Amino acid sequence: MIERYSRPDMVAVWDPDRRLQVQLEIELLACEAMERRGEVPAGTAAVCRERARFDRGRIDELERTLKHDVIAFLTNVNEAIGEPGRHLHKGMTSSDVLDTALAVQLRDAGALILAELDAVLAVLQRRAWEHVHTVCIGRSHGIHAEPTTFGWKLAIFWDELRRGRRRLVLAIEDIACGKISGATGTFAHVHPDVEAYVCERLGLVPAPASNQIVQRDRHAAFFTTLALIGSSIEKIAVEIRHLQRTEVREVEEPFTRGQKGSSAMPHKRNPILSENLCGLARLVRGYAGAAMEDVALWHERDISHSSVERMIGPDATITLHFMLYRLRGLLDGLVVHADRMMANLDRSGGLFYSQRVMLALVEAGATREEAYAAVQRNAMVAFTEERALLPLLLADAEVGGRLGPEQLGACCDPRWYVRHAAEVLRRVFSPHDQGA
């Protein structure tokens, strides 16, 4: 992933030297386990650990001839260790090292994403309570429906990302799985105790059964979870983009001192952060599709998944981590125009009161069909002639014959629609629901 969309702590997880360091640790731990079993001479593991070094430039040089990355790595390490190095990789296959190292990297990347997601959830919760009573018009099909509150919108976003968090915790648990079971995974030349020892020291669990690789449904689940979180981020970004449109202008992304919105038009203040998040979400979803394609490999394994994972592992995690960081700043600095929300709510002349008036007519003895027809008749006049609904209803003999001015006036209070807002937010943010 390019530097523009990368955070240093996540980039460090995928640094090539760190990957090689994890691979080296796997080899050294396996040697320790074999020594404990009496399968290599006593003291071998300590000597190997003391002397072990690698040089990425030298590995690249060796690979140009050997055409095999793990052999190039082992050759370089053994150049530093000397004779005891012949006991490294005993009975193991390349995927033992590569799959177990990838599990470590994905687990650590997942932990960083989880921490950033928690920071986003904290901001969403704070701002939801800040705007629990900030009334705005709700929209369905992009058209005014009935009132809601901006805090209610944010609570829904929080609840969705909380579900994403729960999925991520499970996906991290699932992906933190290693294997040291040799060619085709049968433990023919390496004992299961070695696998158990290595995985325990790395904080992984051994695959209950493996062939030559860890099965890729685990990876597909991990990347699909990232894609779902990315899609939830896009959902929030799309809402902000719509609400920032000039004709709406209920919220605005933070526009910092000295910022410029357009190279041509000095007046522009564009929702560039939200648009960026929408674009990056497309990438994260694409990585999930690639991971799905990796599940079905030939027999005990092929390596068609390898090239895919070398790219999507860093790119998907770096991208989503950056998206969460950007979303946190966007939500924290989001400007909310409560007065504009009320002005937009009033633009329709009270059309959104139609359902409450209809139900009041039903309570007063009208059939639902009669009530619907009476309210719709007046609502269509209000809509086409841009008039207020309440005076039309008061002048309608059929409506007025059942509901007096006081009853109709009581139907036209926007606060009535959102009277349960605080109750709903308490339900969303209860300690029970916050658990992963």
Catalytic pick among 262, 304, 307, 430: 262
Catalytic, out of 141, 267, 299, 432: 141
Q: What residues pair up with 149 in beta bridges, in sequence order?
A: 135
- Cβ proximity of 147 and 352 under 8 Å: yes
Active site residue 348: no
CA angle 193, 197, 203 (to 5 degrees): 140
Tokens of 407: 């009853």
Alpha carbons 245 and 130: distance in angstroms, whole number: 23
- Chain centroid offset of residue 49 CA: 39
Neighbour-count burial of 319, counting CB atoms closer than 10 A to its CB (0-12 exposed, 13-18 middle, 19+ buried):
buried
Structure tokens given for 181 = 């079971």
Distance, in Å, from the CA atom of 312 to the CA atom of 109, rounded to the nearest integer, reads 12
Q: Where do we find the tokens 């969460």?
A: 324
The full length of the chain comes to 436
CB 207 within 8 A of CB 177: yes
Q: Distance between CA atoms of 426 and 423, rounded to whole angstroms?
A: 5
Under DSSP, is residue 13 helix (H, G, I), strand (E, B) or coil? helix
95 is an active site residue: no
Whether the Cβ atoms of residue 279 and residue 234 lie closer than 8 Å to each other:
no
What is the identity of the amino acid at 235? Answer: K
Alpha-carbon span 69 to 63, nearest angstrom:
6
For residue 255, the surrounding DSSP H or E stretch is: none
Q: 16-36 and 44-51 are packed helices; what angle lies between their axes, rounded to 10 degrees?
A: 170
List of residues 6+ apart from 103 with CB closer than 8 A: 175, 176, 177, 178, 202, 204, 214
> Which residues are designated catalytic?
141, 262
